[in-house]
A and B are shown apart, each in its own frame.
Chain A
Amino acid sequence: MFEVRTWRGRLVLQVVVTVMAIPFLFPLIVMIKGSLAGQGWRNFTAVLGVPGLAQFFINSAIIATGATVLVYVVAMMAAYGFAKLHVAFREVYFWLLLACLTLPEVVLLAPLFTTAIRLGIYDTYWAVILPLAALQVPFAVLLTRNFLNGLPNEVFDAARVDGASSLRGFLYLVIPLTRPIAAAVIIFTLIGAWNDYLMPLVFLQSPQMQTITLVPQFFVGEFSNDQTKILASAVITAIPEVVAYLCLQRLFERGLSAGAIK
């Protein structure tokens, strides 16, 4: 793309990129510096000493895993049905799903609330997992169907002619062949579920059910607005996400671009 031949030009580019990157780095520096202000490392030990902190992580992990497994299974199946099997009025069903793509979760608040109470799942993991998964499925189906459409029909026809049932076709063809796009689906759903704030805020009441996105608010109460400890709690909750990203960097970037680029 850009071509710079002189060292002076290279230096200019380097400076430009650095200046552009500073605003992105600044809040992270503020976060870390703030968390070490006052009592220094003791802010962290104070936060880690709060009973039940681990439970926040466990709850988030259960919800994120539950939603991701549900979205993965349901979306893979649907994409297989849409792309490679016979469905009457296929496009009608597909658009029915796609219309849900644009839906803001806040719209679901009032009806979901009454439904959750009626079904007796209010303040359980299901009250968060089900709506989160429901909102993520349309995008996952869109991605996976596009991907499966790109695979040759011959493979699936050959399996069928050999007498493979659609279940075998799913287990031995769809699951292994969709691995690249599955990475995208799983990562999108994981980030979405792990970072979600509104659903846990509304549907989880008891303290032992709270997720990590509710941690900062919990600590506002716990430490009566001691900023440094609140920032320390933010650092602690951010660490797993940053580590996960750094370890799976390739996967994140490839997954993201798989969604938008053919």
Chain B
Amino acid sequence: MDIKVNVRESEGDAYVVDLTGEIDVYTSPKVKDAITELIDREHYNLVINLEKVRYIDSTGLGVLIGGLKRVREHGGSVNLVCTNPQIKKIFDITGLVKIFGIFDDEQSAMKALA
């Protein structure tokens, strides 16, 4: 079980974090490190692409919430790309759909950052 993290610059000051695999108590520190590094470099508009994520637990959700909290302190935002019904369900039942922008594709998530 592992997570692959790929960070790439997109339009404007926005960055995309592509995640592939499973985000759990073991792999979430790697995701946290990638997001923290972007924020430390003063990139506050992020799209996190969960399209290739098969599984996420509370520690993964915690990392996303922590990232969102930090970028909001600087007027930024974190939008998510998520099409996996099981993962969408987790965002639904925890009420996190209310605090994250969740989109079906990267283009829509990027557009909503603007």
Specify whether A and B are partners. Answer: no
Interface residues, chain B, CB within 8 Å of chain A?
none
Interface residues, chain A, CB within 8 Å of chain B?
none
